[in-house]
């Protein structure tokens, strides 16, 4: 048999971890491994709320993929995947190039879920890539600059739609950034309004109520106004319309109302729920022994509560580790694959500088302890992906 071709689509947490695991174990010429990614860098999606608000330089939230890969073992292709042709066993890039595979790993991450809400796609920003967060940061600065001359209140009214973890982490950063911007542009802080609008009866639905109250208290003191049980019904060039009919004028709407799997998966004909494929225990797309899905495109069920696990980097990284090992076994002719079993360490969410909340095991943590834990978690992900050299380059102190 000729050397098997492993094609990995997407260099995020799941795809890159799969590649790293393969390069550690495969000998030369055991497999032809190719990683394709839209950019020549990997970005730390879990940090993106910071550059979006402007509290961190976007440059610090990314790393060149070739500095992590051993390019003697893994070929890197910078390209945007436009289509997967299952019958022909190829992926097509927008350049027209076609890449063939024996084993395909799909790690293309997620897209914003807009639930068909009118105007969101056209008028709202979302936190999803280095380029998208640069745009948000620059737009916020532009609004401050423009307010100086025009004094229109909507320029300094910021709406964040959805108070899940992304929304909460972003308003935490934004409320830290506001005093800096007010000082820079000589603007009285009382002109600035930050609304975090949530459809469910509570922020962070499903999370521990004590931690939710702590988060609301900290963020409230930093100037965030929460509107709960208030779905956004429409987004317009002027702001948002809520389900109760209220209109809030705003020049900046950031949509953090949820995610769905990358549409390339759905367009390839896989059966999906919110763009995610319910994978088998070995991360196969059902009925396809040659196609694996990692990260936000893979739906796995938490049997204890019979509900899907939320899509997280924690799970994406663990899936990459598991799949890397299984692919090594496959190319060596093994038939015994290890099932993927998530090992959840907990959830910690930042609320801005030196403030966070978290559940680690069943222990609740708050404030500076939780903020320190968040840095440890972020640095640990760096270590898993790129070892000590990546930690040294990008460490969060």
DSSP label of 126: -
Min dist. Cβ of residue 298 to ligand NAD (A): 12
Helix, coil or strand: residue 112: strand
Nearest residue (CB) to ligand FAD, 185 versus 309: 309
Write 310-316 long-range contacts (CB < 8 A, 24+).
Answer: 311/110, 311/259, 311/276, 313/13, 313/45, 313/46, 313/381, 314/342, 314/344, 314/345, 315/342, 315/344, 316/12, 316/13, 316/14, 316/17, 316/107
Catalytic residue among 32, 113, 169, 173: 169
User: Site mask, ligand FAD, residues 51-80, x = CB under 6 A?
Assistant: -----------------------------x
Token reading at 228: 């709960």
Residue 219 binds to ligand NAD (criterion: CB under 6 A) = no
316 interface partner picked from ligand NAD, ligand FAD, none, CB below 5 to 8 A per type: ligand FAD
In the list 11, 14, 15, 162, the residue contacting ligand NAD (rule: CB under 6 A) is 162
**Interface with ligand NAD by CB under 6 A: which range of 27-35, 90-98, 155-163, 275-283?**
155-163
Question: Cα-flanking dihedrals φ and ψ of residue 108, to 5°?
Answer: -90, 10
In the list 32, 113, 154, 169, the residue contacting ligand FAD (rule: CB under 6 A) is 169
Residue 21 binds to ligand FAD (criterion: CB under 6 A) = no
Residue 316 binds to ligand FAD (criterion: CB under 6 A) = yes
- Beta strand 356-360 with 363-366 is antiparallel
Residue 324 binds to ligand FAD (criterion: CB under 6 A) = no
Residues 309-348 that bind ligand NAD (CB under 6 A): 310-312, 347
**Interface with ligand NAD by CB under 6 A: which range of 23-31, 56-64, 250-258, 263-271?**
250-258
**What's the rounded Cα separation, in Å, for the pair 43 and 60?**
9
Task: For the chain, give percent helix, strand, coil, nearest 5.
Answer: 40, 25, 35
Q: Is the dihedral of CA 268, 271, 277, 278 positive or negative?
A: negative
In the list 92, 100, 200, 372, the residue contacting ligand NAD (rule: CB under 6 A) is 200
CA distances from 44 to 5, 263, 272 (A): 27, 21, 26
Token reading at 330: 């496959």
232 interface partner picked from ligand FAD, ligand NAD, none, CB below 5 to 8 A per type: ligand NAD
Task: Identify whether 198 is a catalytic site residue.
Answer: no
**Interface with ligand NAD by CB under 6 A: which range of 212-220, 287-295, 306-314, 325-333?**
306-314
Nearest residue (CB) to ligand FAD, 145 versus 360: 360
DSSP assignment of 45-93 equals GGGTHHHHHTSS-GGGGEEEGGGTS-TTTEEEEE--EEEEETTTTEEEE
Residue 263 binds to ligand FAD (criterion: CB under 6 A) = no
Residue 378 binds to ligand NAD (criterion: CB under 6 A) = no
**What's the rounded Cα separation, in Å, for the pair 18 and 27?**
15
Question: Cα-flanking dihedrals φ and ψ of residue 195, to 5°?
Answer: -110, 130
Q: CA angle at residue 217 from 211 to 220, to 5 degrees?
A: 135
**Interface with ligand FAD by CB under 6 A: which range of 33-41, 207-215, 245-253, 326-334?**
33-41
**Interface with ligand FAD by CB under 6 A: which range of 103-111, 146-154, 338-346, 361-369?**
103-111
DSSP label of 190: G
Residues 85-144 that bind ligand NAD (CB under 6 A): 115, 117
Helix, coil or strand: residue 100: strand
Residue 51 binds to ligand NAD (criterion: CB under 6 A) = no
Footprint of ligand NAD on this chain (CB under 6 A)?
A: 115, 117, 161-167, 169, 197-200, 205, 231-232, 256-259, 310-312, 347, 349
Footprint of ligand FAD on this chain (CB under 6 A)?
A: 10-15, 36-39, 42, 45-46, 48-49, 80-81, 107-109, 127, 166, 169, 262, 264, 295-296, 311-314, 316
What amino acid positions are annotated as catalytic residues? 169
């Amino acid at each position: 048999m000729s050397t098997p071709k492993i094609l990995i689509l997407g260099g995020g947490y799941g795809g890159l971890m799969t590649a790293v695991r393969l390069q550690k174990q495969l000998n030369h010429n055991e497999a032809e491994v190719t990683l394709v990614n839209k950019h020549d860098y990997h970005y730390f999606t879990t940090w993106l709320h910071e550059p979006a608000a402007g509290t961190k330089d976007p440059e610090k939230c990314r790393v060149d993929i070739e500095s992590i890969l051993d390019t003697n073992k893994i070929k890197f292709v910078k390209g945007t995947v436009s289509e997967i042709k299952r019958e022909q066993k190829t992926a097509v890039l927008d350049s027209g190039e076609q890449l063939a595979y024996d084993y395909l790993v799909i790690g293309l991450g997620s897209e914003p879920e807009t639930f068909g809400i009118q105007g969101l796609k056209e008028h709202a920003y979302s936190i999803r890539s280095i380029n998208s967060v640069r745009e948000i940061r620059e737009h916020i600065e532009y609004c401050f600059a423009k307010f100086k001359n025009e004094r229109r209140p909507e320029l300094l009214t910021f709406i964040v739609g959805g108070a899940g973890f992304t929304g909460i982490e972003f308003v935490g950063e934004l409320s830290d950034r506001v005093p800096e911007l007010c000082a820079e542009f000589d603007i009285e802080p009382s002109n600035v309004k930050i609304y975090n609008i949530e459809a469910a009866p509570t922020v962070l639905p499903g999370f521990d109520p004590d931690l939710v109250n702590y988060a609301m208290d900290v963020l409230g003191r930093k100037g965030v106004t929460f509107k709960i049980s208030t779905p956004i019904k429409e987004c317009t060039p002027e702001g948002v319309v809520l389900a109760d009919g209220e209109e809030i004028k705003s020049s900046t709407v950031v949509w953090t109302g949820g995610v769905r799997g990358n549409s390339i998966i759905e367009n390839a004909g896989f059966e999906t729920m919110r763009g995610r494929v319910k994978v088998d225990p070995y991360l196969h797309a059902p009925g396809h022994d040659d196609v694996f899905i990692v990260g936000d495109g893979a739906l796995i069920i938490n049997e204890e509560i019979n509900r899907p696990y939320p899509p997280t980097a924690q799970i994406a990284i663990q899936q990459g580790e598991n799949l890397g090992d299984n692919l090594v076994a496959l190319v060596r002719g093994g038939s015994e694959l290890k099932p993927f079993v998530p090992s959840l360490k907990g959830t910690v969410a930042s609320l801005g500088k030196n403030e966070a909340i978290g559940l680690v095991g069943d222990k609740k943590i708050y404030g500076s302890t939780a903020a320190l834990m968040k840095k440890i978690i972020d640095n640990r992900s760096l270590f898993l992906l790129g070892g000590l050299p990546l930690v040294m380059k990008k460490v969060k102190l």
